[in-house]
Amino acid sequence: MTGRKASDAGATGIPGWILVVAALGALFVLLPIVAMVTRVNWAQFGALITSQESVDALLLSLRTSLTATLACLVLGIPMAVVLARVPFRGRGLVRAIVLLPLVLPPVVGGLALLALYGRRGLLEGAIPIAFSTPAVIIAQTFVALPFLVLSLEGALRTTGERYEAVAATLGAGPSSVLFRVTLPLVAPAIVSGAILSFARALGEFGATLTFAGSLQGTTRTLPLEIYLQRETDPDAAVALSLVLIAVAIAVVAVAHGAGEPLRRRTT
Amino acid sequence: MKGIRMKARSRLAIAGAALAAVLLAATGCSADASAPAASPTPTKHAITGTITVFAAASLTKTFTELGREFEKTNPGSTVTFSFAGSSDLVTQLSGGAPADVFASADEKNMKKAVDAGVTSGDPVDFATNVLAIAVPPGNPAHITAWADLAKPGVKTVVCAPQVPCGAATATVETNTGVKLSPVSQESSVTDVLGKVSSGEADAGVVYVTDVKGAGKSVDSVPFPEAKDVVNTYPIVAIKQGQNATGAAAFIAYVTGPEGKKVLEAAGFGTP
Q: What is the DSSP string of A209-258?
A: HHHT---TTTT--HHHHHHHHHHH-HHHHHHHHHHHHHHHHHHHHHHHHH
- Cβ separation of A229 and B200 shorter than 8 Å? no
> For the segment A95-111, what is each residue's pLDDT rounded down to a tens digit?
999 889 988 898 899 99
> For the segment A195-232, what is each residue's pLDDT rounded down to a tens digit?
999 999 999 999 998 899 899 999 999 999 998 888 77
C-beta separation of B72 from B100 below 8 A: no
Q: Is residue A4 part of a domain?
A: no
Does residue A263 or residue B172 have the better pLDDT?
B172
Q: Is residue A11 part of a domain?
A: no
ipTM of the complex, rounded to two decimals: 0.74
Q: Is residue A68 part of a domain?
A: yes
- Cβ separation of B187 and A209 shorter than 8 Å? yes
Helix/strand/coil (H/E/C) assignment for every residue in chain B: CHHHHHHCCCHHHHHHHHHHHHHHHHCCCCHHHCCCCCCCCCCCCCCCEEEEEEEEHHHHHHHHHHHHHHHHHCCCEEEEEEEECHHHHHHHHHCCCCCCEEECCCHHHHHHHHHCCCEEEEEEEEEEECEEEEECCCCCCCCCCHHHHHCCCCCEEEECCCCHHHHHHHHHHHHHCCCCCCCEEECCHHHHHHHHHCCCCCEEEEEHHHHHHCHHHCEEECCHHHHHCCEEEEEEEECCCCCHHHHHHHHHHHHCHHHHHHHHHCCCECC
**Minimum distance, in Å, between the CA of residue A132 and any CA atom of chain B:** 8
Give me the pLDDT at residue B87, please.
Answer: 83
Per-domain residue ranges of chain B: 1-29, 35-128+231-265, 131-228
**CATH assignment at residue A258:** 1.10.3720.10
Q: CA separation (Å) from B224 to A37, B93, B136, B193?
A: 48, 37, 20, 21
Assess whether the region B35-128+231-265 and the region B131-228 belong to the same CATH fold.
yes
User: Which fold, B35-128+231-265?
Assistant: D-Maltodextrin-Binding Protein; domain 2 (3.40.190)
Q: Is residue A5 part of a domain?
A: no
Q: Is residue A6 part of a domain?
A: no
- Cβ separation of B183 and A228 shorter than 8 Å? no
Q: How many whole angstroms separate alpha carbon B143 and alpha carbon B135?
A: 8
User: Which fold, B131-228?
Assistant: D-Maltodextrin-Binding Protein; domain 2 (3.40.190)
Q: Is residue A222 part of a domain?
A: yes
Q: Is residue A135 part of a domain?
A: yes
> How many domains does chain A contain in total?
1
> For the segment B174-190, what is each residue's pLDDT rounded down to a tens digit?
999 999 999 999 988 88
Closest to A131 (Cα-Cα) out of A19, A59, A208? A208
> For the segment A16-65, what is each residue's pLDDT rounded down to a tens digit?
899 999 999 999 999 998 998 888 888 888 888 898 989 999 999 999 99
Q: Is residue A17 part of a domain?
A: no
Mutate to test the interface with B, among A131, A138, A218, A224 (most CBs of B within 10 A): A131
**Minimum distance, in Å, between the CA of residue B163 and any CA atom of chain A:** 7
